[in-house]
Amino acid sequence: MEITLEDPRLILSSFVTGHRGPVELEFQPTEGFGWDCAFVVVEQGPVDSVGASLVVDPTVIEADFLGSVGSDRRFRVLFGSGVRLIPPSSTEMGVRVISVRHEDGRWSIQMHLPAHSTLHRVQEHYHDNDISFRVKRLHVARDTDVGSETALLPGQREALLVAHEHGYFEVPRRSSQGELAVILGISKSGVSQRIRRAISRLIEATLSP
């Protein structure tokens, strides 16, 4: 299932409003903090500036810089106030969070639900907090499905399609990452990151046992 959210009461709303570029959250519930702790990954911006913007967000208690990989800046963030993007009972419900990403003014969340009945319980979290959301895609997995849990994010899908259409995967290549960056309106490193992550997701979906 993929949903989109847009509300100033959500966690990190102040930060994502002022930050240019995509923001990704990776949740790994930790003892004592649960879903209140997450890894925040941003693709652009000086480390000091990004860290300062995170700390002044009213929903953030603590933000620690963990390191950079390429153009990615990675922080461990502890949240205090603010409506959670993911229902706190997700683990108990058997919900698997696939991706949480903010881009173009809204959050896009992909999750795998163990049963269709779980959808109602997920919806309750947003309804109880008066958060409007839209179900962008709902796929009912079957035993014959391949890779149904590993859908590409919109930006990744667009990057792959543009790269394919402009001969990026041909030998020799008919376009460079710089040319794709101009078409997509993002940085060259952003193109590289999206293509790499998209290919990784497709490999996981089709080749992993």
pLDDT: which is higher, 129 or 208: 129
Residue 142 has a CB neighbour count (10 Å cut-off) of 7
Model confidence at 208: pLDDT above 70: no
CA-closest candidate to residue 97, choices 3, 204, 19, 196: 3
Among all chains, which residue has been given the structure tokens 């639900």? 113
CA distance 137 to 148: 12
**Element spanning 73, H or E:** strand 72-79
pLDDT tens figures, 16-64: 999 988 999 998 766 666 778 999 999 878 899 999 999 999 999 999 9
| Beta strand 96-103 pairing with 133-137 | unpaired
User: How many whole angstroms separate alpha carbon 61 and alpha carbon 21?
Assistant: 23
Distance CA 139, CA 149 (A): 9
Q: What is the pLDDT of residue 151?
A: 63
Q: Which segment of 50-54, 83-87, 105-109, 154-158 scores lowest on mean pLDDT?
A: 154-158
Of the pLDDT bands very low, low, confident and very high (cuts 50, 70, 90), residue 199 is confident
Q: State the average pLDDT for the chain.
A: 85
Q: Quote the pLDDT of residue 40.
A: 96
pLDDT of residue 107: 96
pLDDT at 167 > cutoff 60: yes
**Once rounded to an integer, what is the mean pLDDT over residues 117-139?**
86
- What would the mean pLDDT of 63-79 be, rounded to a whole number? 91
Determine the average pLDDT of the residues in 178-193: 90
d(CA 99, CA 22): 13
In this prediction, residues 182-191 reach a mean pLDDT of 90
| pLDDT category of residue 209 using cuts at 50, 70 and 90 | low
Supply the pLDDT for residue 149: 44
Q: Coil, strand or helix: which one is 190?
A: helix
When pLDDT is averaged across residues 179-207 and rounded to a whole number, the result is 84
- What is the C-alpha separation between 177 and 141, in angstroms, rounded? 35
Q: Give tens-digit pLDDT for 103-116.
A: 989 999 999 888 87
